[in-house]
Amino acid sequence: MDRVDRLLALIAELRAASPEAVEGGELAGRLGVSERTVRRDLELLEHGGLPVRRRGRGYALPRDPEPAPLGEAASLTGPVRDTLAEAVRTRRVVRLAYTDRAGTRSFRDVEAHGLVIAPYGEYLVGWCRMRDGPRMFRLDRVGAAFLSGRGAEVRGLDEVLAALRVPMPRPPAGPEPRGPAGAARARAWTLDRLGSVRSRLRDAVAGADPAGPGGGAGAAALRAVLGHLAEWTRWQVAAIRAAATGEDPVLDGRPPRLPAGFGREPSYEARERMIQDAMALRSLGELARDLQEVLEAAGRWAAGCDDALWEAELPDPRPFGPPGPPRPLADLLAGWRGPLAHVEWHLDRLTDEPPPAPSGDDEDVWVVDRCPLQA
């Protein structure tokens, strides 16, 4: 193993034995190195701050102290993250002063279930009692937190995971009957995700509008992304509906006129160029309305389609090649690689990680990098 892996393994061995000591020869045997190498590695770790204690020929780490209980008063005055971590550890209800993306502050009781580190921030995952549903709260938007004396209720794992925007769990295999309760939950989860995506889209367009609150920042990048999203989302939704109903695909919104070779062109890059060229004459508002109409039509269909479709597993239509393994309808629409996650993937990169400046001949086109359609 390389040195970094060896250091990790060495620390793991010491922590597993803590607070007991492990002799240097035994550590060397477990790691497959000499005692001299173990001594050098431990000296390096000590200089880096690892509190190694020597006991005869052995080495030991002190046991990590238990965190002191956090009282209600201290929760108001200490760091917000400490309060949230204590709420998760002790399964408590925490009261938040939370400011959403639009700048609106609310006060709400949340059953704390976990802290999640994501690429663009850290989040509290919990059950919001004000909304009566699972939610994620970005920590840098929590202005203050109060640790109450109330315990969190036991929630189903699928309900909590819905806040993480992960696919609905597959229905269990077997002869058990599947009633409308499962269908109602899957439909409600999907429609909630749809509403959230449409709201994020409205916020992004308002921020890119020169007359809006954002002053027009990122309008060029958003135009290219919306052209991409409107056409591919139109295709994804139509393909999922066709897979569910067995009918021919119906394209919602305002499909552009694409070249005759679009359907025969096997290259993703060539298809994307055709889409961008076809969308180039549309304004930002027209592109946004097109995508919103596609999402609105998807919502109407999802709200009114038969319960049996939510209980079944359907072929996964792919933009290239044969269908993928069957998945539940909620997963196809709102899970990873689905149209909603696709929209959010691009909006995340516009708002949290701006794309690099274009170069060369592509000054009017932002070329997407490994979006879910390519994953």
pLDDT in tens, 146-179: 988 888 887 776 666 655 654 444 444 444 334 3
Tell me what pLDDT residue 214 has.
46
Who has greater pLDDT, 371 or 292? 292
Amino acid at 43: E
Q: What is the pLDDT of residue 163?
A: 59
pLDDT grade, residue 48 (50/70/90)?
Answer: confident
- What is the rounded distance in angstroms from the CA atom of residue 168 to the CA atom of residue 160? 11
**pLDDT grade for 67, boundaries at 50, 70 and 90:** low
Element (H, E) at 122: strand 121-128
Confidence (pLDDT) at 18 = 85
Q: Is the pLDDT of residue 71 over 90?
A: no
Please tell me whether residue 113 adopts helix, strand or coil conformation: strand
> Dmax of the chain from CA atoms?
80
Q: What is the rounded CA–CA span in Å between residue 93 and residue 147?
A: 7
Q: According to the per-residue pLDDT averaged within each range, which of 298-312, 324-338, 360-374 is highest? A: 298-312
**pLDDT number for residue 179:** 38
CATH number corresponding to 72-164 = 2.30.30
Domain covering 3-60 in this structure, CATH number: 1.10.10.10
Q: Report the alpha-carbon distance of residue 371 to residue 319 in Å, rounded.
A: 13
Is the pLDDT reported for residue 120 higher than 50? yes
Q: What's residue 164's pLDDT? A: 62
Is pLDDT of 100 > 90?
no
Task: Examine the pLDDT at 361 and tell me if it is beyond 50.
Answer: no
Domain range annotation of the chain: 3-60, 72-164, 180-351
User: What is the predicted pLDDT for the residue at 209?
Assistant: 60
pLDDT at 261 over 50: yes
Please tell me the predicted confidence (pLDDT) of residue 161. Answer: 63
How much is the pLDDT for 114? 87
pLDDT in tens, 188-240: 888 888 988 898 888 888 877 655 444 455 677 888 889 999 999 999 999 99
Compute the distance between CA of residue 287 and CA of residue 281 in angstroms, rounded to an integer: 10
Q: Per-residue confidence at 132, pLDDT binned at 50, 70, 90?
A: confident
3 state DSSP class of 222: helix
Q: CA 4, 9, 11: angle at the middle one, nearest 5?
A: 95
Percentage of the residues of the chain whose pLDDT score is greater than 70: 79
Task: Note every long-range contact of 314-322, with CB atoms under 8 Å and residues 24 or more positions apart, other chains counting.
Answer: 314/240, 314/243, 314/244, 315/243, 316/243, 317/236, 317/239, 317/240, 317/242, 317/243, 319/232, 319/235, 319/236, 319/268, 319/373, 320/266, 320/268
Task: Select, from the ranges 7-11, 25-29, 290-294, the one with the highest average predicted confidence (pLDDT).
Answer: 290-294
